[in-house]
């Protein structure tokens, strides 16, 4: 239960903060949620990772679908030299996931220090 | 020990963010760019995007409504004259901000600020040419005139109103990729943009190249290689026109032979030469030649092909005027288009209005130079060239009575051997308010209005075609042109006194023009404006082919419809091939050809002289002619000093037709005397070697037309376009250059107009309107141009409405 709640909260907090703040607040969202809802350290990382993977891959897929993937074709050629919008969406998700996952892990480890 | 994993994890997080937010490690800040709420995804415009909006700006004096049709062309209706320019600025910025920023920074020699060291040489060359100096002079003129001042102020306010709405996520994609922010717009930037056009169109000179050619070749050879009048010239103003007695007679200095025509070699190479193919076609026919009985005007300016396009299509309408056509993002007004009563189009005048003078400085400080028997003070302009990611470069440019000293010890321009100083005298440094012409043309109703408008255009000089519903047609070779003595400015001139300076400008009442000529049409295609009876010297280098074929066609056409005109504008007929291929075929020695050669020869024999997209004959001809030209001239030019001018395009064609014993057919590296037959045969065999390597001989593949994104990103470009045309054809589409706006306007009671340009209305590569016109343009098709009226606001072509109010 904690696991799913953490994922949902991390994603929601990230989305809300990104409306006003730079993209890397997703790490802070992961940190805050993992700090507030303690899980095993490894699980915290996975929580943050999945939250942002789904958020960023989901958002970019939704935007790209409305765009009929016109821009994603071009950007995937520009960045990874492959004409593959889905791959670009996956890369987007991975980047968000990694940053938030590390943020979550740091949050969890901070709490351990705090409670020790 | 619990702190160690925490520190590691925290450090990893911060490091990853830094890597993904900067260019310190990775080539791009991928986190910032791929964040769906900030980065490039935000530029992925929904296919069904709603452009409608209600917007308030306190700068507006009244209401304005913008009706976007299905092509995303805005039809702007403003209650107040200057509000229309505010909205124009706003829309240019909304759809084309990045190109406006890039083009004006390129003009100002500030490109390295945006893209880094790669643009440094360009920036230095443009600073030394005095581009900003020219723009500052133009700005002063522009702001001294009430009309241009208020329209530019409103335009600038409109651009800035849009810039002020931008956030991190709504920035155009190129800003995100380059990691830069938009700069505030200003009237100076409008002037800079117009000077960029002057550089494109009025800065082509071959003075260094011709100076070397003059020294290297004997007079007889020189005259053969660079004839001052082409046999086939059909001038813009027809032969036999009677010109007024000139008000002034420019005279060459007495020492012209010793000091000017016989001086040493020079070795300056310009880093960036304006494309000599920056030409164009325009013509107008009167009612006697059309089916409807109303005049038809056609215009297609040929420029470098880029995405986003240099043009943005719009209709501007106020209680005092109503104009439709192509506009320049970066400038107010419609530039080429039509009003409710007339139409106009331009082609480049192409005369040499940029000359060089050799300057003698007293010493290395460049503080004084020798002029009219005394040491005269220079003034200095200090240029700070900023470079992205690197320290700035400082350059001090000395200014003389002629203009800036472009080349000196601090800027060698690629010189190898000498270190002389050359000042540049460029017409674009003189006072002028060229924008006023376009403002007035947008208001024009008849021939008198056209004449009152057109005289404001001083540089870049253009052949301005005109037609009106009143039935008039006209062509004026407009510009403020230096009155030159024969040969003045063809080569580098002595700069130690005033004797070689320009002696004045050709009076406006002596500008060659045509009004309602008997032949029923006017036309121009960058050929020489007049025959040799015109009193002033016009220079040597003009293309002749397009003018020739256009006039031939127009003479033969009757009962013309707009559809006939579209066919003419997109005609791929190769008049040079028609002339020279039979001669080459007659002379090629078939006994020297093997089976492969014969196969290619038969392709050429059955060719119809059209460079259509799928033509194979065009490819064979093109390769043969290239090799033929090399075979004829390479031997003579091998030892020539660089840079040197190659013979003009028409020269070899005309020489081959005229004289089968043309001196240059002989290969001077052999003892044998080669003939036309030898050169034709040798070059054909060489061409076949190249052709055999091509799996597909279709002309479009060989020509390979592309439209590059302004930052040369292939992903944002359109490449391998399947289309015909080529140099010296009416459809002058080459690899990266061609008709940038095709327009046909039939001035019937209700105007019937057609047009297309190689681009799309939205500069965002993430929009379906980014390149939406390209396929139609490549196929030689047109869109109807809709001059909307106010009572058509419910028309089904209108898809979105933007309401502006204060």
pLDDT digits (tens, 9 = 90+) for B381-410: 999 999 998 999 999 999 999 999 999 988
Residues of chain B with Cβ-Cβ distance to A14 below 8 Å are: none
Q: Check B44 against A18: CB less than 8 A apart.
A: no
Cβ separation of B9 and A106 shorter than 8 Å? yes
Angle, helices B146-165/B187-202, rounded to nearest 10 degrees: 110
The CA distance from A1 to the nearest CA of chain B, in Å, is: 25
Do the Cβ atoms of B691 and B597 come closer than 8 Å?
no
Which of A66, A77, A106 is the closest to B46 by Cβ? A66
For residue B199, the Cα-to-chain-centroid distance in whole angstroms is 9
> A29: Cβ–Cβ under 8 A, 6 or more apart, which residues?
A10, A13, A14, A17, A100, A103
Q: Are B522 and B487 in contact (CB under 8 A)?
A: no
Cβ–Cβ below 8 Å for A19 and B37: yes
Distance of CA B706 to the CA centre of its chain: 16
| Among B501, B483, B489, B485, CA closest to B208 | B489
Q: Measure the CA angle with vertex B610, ends B608 and B612; round to 5°.
A: 125
Q: Which stretches of chain B drop beneath a pLDDT of 50? A: 417
Q: Give the Å distances, CA to CA, from B427 to B14, B202, B266, B534, B595.
A: 57, 8, 23, 21, 57
CB–CB of B31 and A99 under 8 A? yes
End-to-end CA distance of chain B: 66
For chain A, the first-to-last Cα distance in angstroms comes to 25
Q: Which of A67, A92, A102 sits opposite B34 (nearest CB)?
A: A92
Query: Which chain B residues are Cβ-neighbours of A12 within 8 angstroms?
Result: none
Nearest to B763 by CA among B157, B167, B174, B155: B174
**Residues with Cβ within 8 Å of residue B543, at least 6 apart in sequence:** B279, B525, B526, B527, B649, B650, B728
Q: Do A106 and B32 touch (CB under 8 A)?
A: no
Distance (Å, whole) CA B476 – CA B454: 8
Over residues A7-18, the mean pLDDT reads 96
Numbers of helices and strands, H then E, in chain A = 5, 0
Q: What pLDDT, on a 0 to 100 scale, did the predictor assign at position B420? A: 87
Q: Does A70 touch chain B (CB under 8 A)?
A: yes
DSSP label at residue B341: S
What is the reported pLDDT for A116? 59
**What is the Cα–Cα distance from B232 to B576, expressed in whole angstroms?**
11
**Are A24 and B31 an interchain contact pair (Cβ–Cβ within 8 Å)?**
yes
Among B481, B460, B468, which residue's Cα sits nearest to residue B530?
A: B481
* Interface touch A18/B35, C-beta < 8 Å: yes
Do B106 and B196 touch, CB atoms closer than 8 A? yes
- DSSP 8-class letter at B2: T
User: For the CA atoms of B429, B430, B431, B433, what is the dihedral angle to 10 degrees?
Assistant: -70
Cross-chain residue pair A99–B41, CB shorter than 8 Å: no
Q: Is the dihedral of CA B9, B10, B15, B21 positive or negative?
A: positive
Looking at the DSSP assignment, which residues form a beta bridge with residue B219? none
Is the Cβ–Cβ distance between B381 and B403 less than 8 Å? no
- The side-by-side arrangement of strands in the sheet containing B421-426 is B405-407, B421-426, B354-359, B493-494
- pLDDT score for B227: 87
Torsion angle defined by CA atoms of residues A77, A81, A87 and A90, in that order, rounded to the nearest 10 degrees: -100
Cβ-in-10-Å burial (0-12, 13-18, 19+) of B53 comes to exposed
Query: Is the pLDDT higher at A1 or at B219?
Result: B219
Q: What is the pLDDT of residue B416?
A: 54
What per-residue confidence (pLDDT) applies to B260?
Answer: 79
**Strands B737-739, B53-56: parallel, antiparallel or unpaired by DSSP?**
unpaired
Q: Do A60 and B715 touch (CB under 8 A)?
A: no
Question: How close, in Å, is residue A78 to chain B by CA atoms?
Answer: 6
Write down the pLDDT at residue B24. Answer: 83
* A79 vs B contacts (CB less than 8 Å): 28, 30
Q: How close is the nearest chain B Cα to the Cα of A47, in Å? A: 15
CB contact under 8 A, A95 and B41: no
Please report how many Cα atoms fall inside a 13 Å half-sphere around the Cα of residue B218, on the Cβ side: 4
Number of Cβ within a 10 Å radius of residue B720? 9
Chain B within 8 Å of A77 (Cβ-Cβ)? Answer: yes
Question: Would the CB atoms of B6 and A109 count as touching at under 8 Å?
Answer: yes
Tell me which residues of chain B have a C-beta less than 8 Å from any C-beta of chain A.
Answer: 2-3, 5-6, 9-10, 12-13, 16-17, 20-21, 28, 30-32, 34-48, 168, 713-716, 765-768
Q: Which of B151, B91, B85, B68 is closest to B788 using CA atoms?
A: B68
Pairing of strands B705-709, B306-307: parallel
Report the C-alpha gap between A38 and A44 in whole angstroms: 8
A32 touches chain B (CB under 8 A): no
- The answer to whether the peptide bond before residue B607 is cis (omega within 30 degrees of 0) is no
User: How far from B662 is each of B225, B587, B653, B676, CA to CA, in Å?
Assistant: 11, 14, 11, 8
For residue B12, give the chain A residue with the closest CA.
Answer: A102
Yes or no: say if A97 and A52 are a contact pair by the CB < 8 Å rule: yes
CB B760 within 8 A of CB B353: no
Of B12, B20, B766, the CB nearest to A70: B766
Contact flag A75-B40 (C-beta cutoff 8 Å)? yes
**CA quadruple A73, A74, A76, A79: dihedral, nearest 10:** 180
Contacts of B222 (CB under 8 A, 6+ apart): B213, B214
Q: Is A13 on the interface with B (CB under 8 A)?
A: no
Instruction: Report the pLDDT value the prediction gives residue B410, as an integer from 0 to 100.
Output: 86
- The verdict on whether omega for the bond into residue B308 sits within 30 degrees of 0, i.e. cis, is yes
Strands B379-387 and B390-399: antiparallel
Q: Find, in chain A, the residue whose alpha carbon is nearest to that of B13.
A: A102
Q: Would an 8 Å CB–CB cutoff place A17 in contact with chain B?
A: no
CA distance linking residue B33 with residue B11, whole number of Å: 22
Q: Do B36 and A105 touch (CB under 8 A)?
A: no
Residue of A nearest to B38 (CA): A23
**Residue pair B570/B755 in contact by the 8 Å Cβ criterion:** no
Nearest CA in chain A to B169: A19
Give the number of C-alpha atoms closer than 13 A to the C-alpha of residue B379, restricted to the C-beta side: 6
3-state helix, strand, coil in chain B (%, to 5): 35, 20, 45
Report percent pLDDT > 90 for chain A. Answer: 86
Q: Tally C-beta pairs within 8 A across A and B.
A: 117
């Amino acid at each position: 239960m904690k696991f799913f709640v953490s994922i949902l909260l991390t994603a929601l907090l990230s989305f809300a903060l990104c409306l006003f703040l730079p993209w890397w607040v997703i790490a802070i969202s992961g940190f805050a949620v993992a700090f507030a809802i303690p899980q095993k350290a490894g699980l915290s990382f996975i929580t943050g990772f999945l939250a942002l993977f789904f958020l960023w891959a989901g958002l970019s897929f939704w935007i790209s679908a409305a765009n009929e993937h016109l821009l994603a074709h071009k950007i995937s050629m520009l960045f990874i030299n492959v004409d593959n919008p889905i791959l670009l969406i996956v890369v987007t998700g991975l980047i968000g996931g990694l940053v938030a996952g590390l943020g979550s892990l740091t949050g969890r480890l901070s709490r351990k220090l705090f409670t020790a | 020990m619990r702190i160690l994993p925490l520190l590691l994890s925290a450090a990893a997080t911060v490091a990853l963010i830094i890597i993904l937010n900067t260019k310190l490690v990775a080539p791009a800040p991928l986190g910032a760019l791929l964040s769906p709420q900030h980065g490039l995804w935000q530029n992925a415009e929904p296919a069904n995007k709603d452009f409608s909006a209600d917007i308030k700006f306190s700068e507006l004096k009244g209401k304005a409504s913008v009706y976007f049709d299905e092509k995303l062309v805005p039809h702007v209706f403003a209650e107040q004259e200057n509000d229309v320019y505010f909205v124009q600025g706003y829309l240019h910025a909304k759809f084309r901000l990045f190109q406006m920023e890039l083009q004006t920074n390129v003009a100002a020699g500030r490109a390295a600020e945006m893209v880094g060291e790669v643009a440094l040489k360009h920036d230095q060359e443009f600073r030394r040419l005095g581009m900003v100096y020219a723009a500052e002079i133009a700005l002063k003129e522009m702001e001294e005139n009430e009309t241009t001042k208020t329209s530019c102020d409103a335009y600038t306010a409109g651009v800035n109103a849009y810039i002020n709405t931008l956030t991190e996520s709504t920035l155009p994609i190129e800003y995100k990729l380059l990691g830069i922010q938009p700069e505030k717009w200003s009237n100076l930037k409008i002037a800079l943009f117009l000077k960029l056009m002057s550089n494109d169109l009025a800065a082509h000179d071959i003075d260094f190249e011709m100076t070397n050619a003059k020294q290297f070749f004997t007079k007889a050879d020189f005259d053969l290689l660079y004839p001052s009048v082409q046999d086939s010239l059909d001038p813009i103003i027809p032969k036999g026109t009677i010109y007024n007695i000139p008000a002034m007679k420019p005279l060459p200095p007495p020492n012209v032979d010793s000091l000017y025509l016989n001086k040493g070699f020079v070795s300056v190479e310009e880093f960036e030469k304006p494309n000599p193919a920056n030409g164009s076609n325009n013509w107008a026919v009167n009612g006697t030649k059309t089916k409807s009985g109303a005049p038809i005007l056609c215009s297609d300016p040929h420029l470098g092909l880029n995405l986003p396009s240099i043009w943005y299509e719009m209709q501007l309408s106020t209680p005092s005027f109503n104009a439709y056509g192509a506009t320049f993002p970066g400038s107010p007004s419609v530039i080429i288009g039509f009003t409710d009563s007339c139409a106009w189009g331009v082609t480049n005048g192409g005369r040499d209005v940029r000359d060089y003078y050799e300057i003698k400085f007293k010493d290395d400080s460049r503080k004084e130079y020798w002029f009219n028997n005394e040491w005269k003070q220079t003034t200095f302009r200090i240029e700070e060239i900023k470079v992205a990611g690197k320290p700035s470069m400082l350059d001090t440019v000395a200014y003389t009575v002629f203009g800036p000293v472009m080349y000196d010890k601090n800027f060698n321009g690629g010189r190898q051997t000498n270190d002389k100083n050359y000042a540049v005298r460029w017409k674009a440094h003189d006072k002028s308010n060229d924008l006023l012409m376009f403002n007035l043309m947008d208001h024009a109703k008849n021939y008198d209005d056209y004449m009152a408008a057109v005289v404001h255009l001083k540089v870049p000089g253009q052949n301005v075609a005109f037609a009106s519903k009143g039935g008039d047609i006209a062509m004026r070779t407009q510009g403020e042109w230096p009155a030159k003595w024969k040969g003045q400015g063809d080569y580098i001139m002595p700069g130690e006194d005033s004797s070689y300076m320009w002696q004045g400008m050709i009076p406006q009442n002596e500008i060659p023009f045509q009004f309602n000529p008997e032949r029923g049409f006017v036309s121009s295609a960058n050929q020489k404006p007049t025959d040799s009876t015109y009193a002033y010297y016009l220079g040597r280098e003009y293309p002749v082919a397009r003018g020739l074929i256009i006039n031939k066609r127009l003479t033969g056409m009757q009962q013309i419809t707009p559809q006939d005109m579209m066919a003419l504008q997109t005609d791929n007929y190769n008049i040079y091939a028609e002339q020279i291929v039979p001669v080459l075929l007659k002379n090629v020695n078939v006994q020297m050809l093997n089976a492969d050669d014969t196969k290619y020869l038969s392709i050429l024999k059955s060719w119809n002289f059209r460079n259509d997209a799928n033509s194979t004959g065009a490819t064979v001809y093109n390769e043969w002619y290239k090799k033929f030209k090399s075979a004829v001239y390479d031997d003579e030019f091998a030892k020539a000093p660089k840079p040197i001018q190659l013979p003009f395009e028409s020269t070899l064609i005309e020489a081959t037709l005229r004289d089968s014993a043309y001196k240059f057919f002989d290969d001077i590296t052999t003892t044998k005397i080669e003939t036309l037959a030898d050169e034709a045969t040798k070059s054909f065999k060489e061409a076949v070697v190249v052709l055999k390597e091509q799996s597909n001989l279709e002309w479009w593949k060989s020509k390979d037309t592309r439209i590059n994104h302004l930052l040369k990103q292939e992903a944002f470009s359109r490449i391998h376009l399947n289309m015909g045309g080529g140099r010296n054809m009416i459809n002058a589409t080459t690899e990266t250059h061609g008709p940038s706006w095709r327009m046909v306007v039939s001035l019937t009671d209700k105007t019937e107009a057609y047009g297309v340009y190689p681009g799309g209305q939205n500069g965002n590569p993430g929009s379906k309107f980014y390149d939406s016109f390209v396929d139609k343009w490549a196929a030689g098709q047109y869109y109807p141009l809709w001059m909307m009226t106010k009572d058509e606001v419910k028309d089904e072509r209108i898809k979105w409405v933007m309401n502006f109010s204060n």
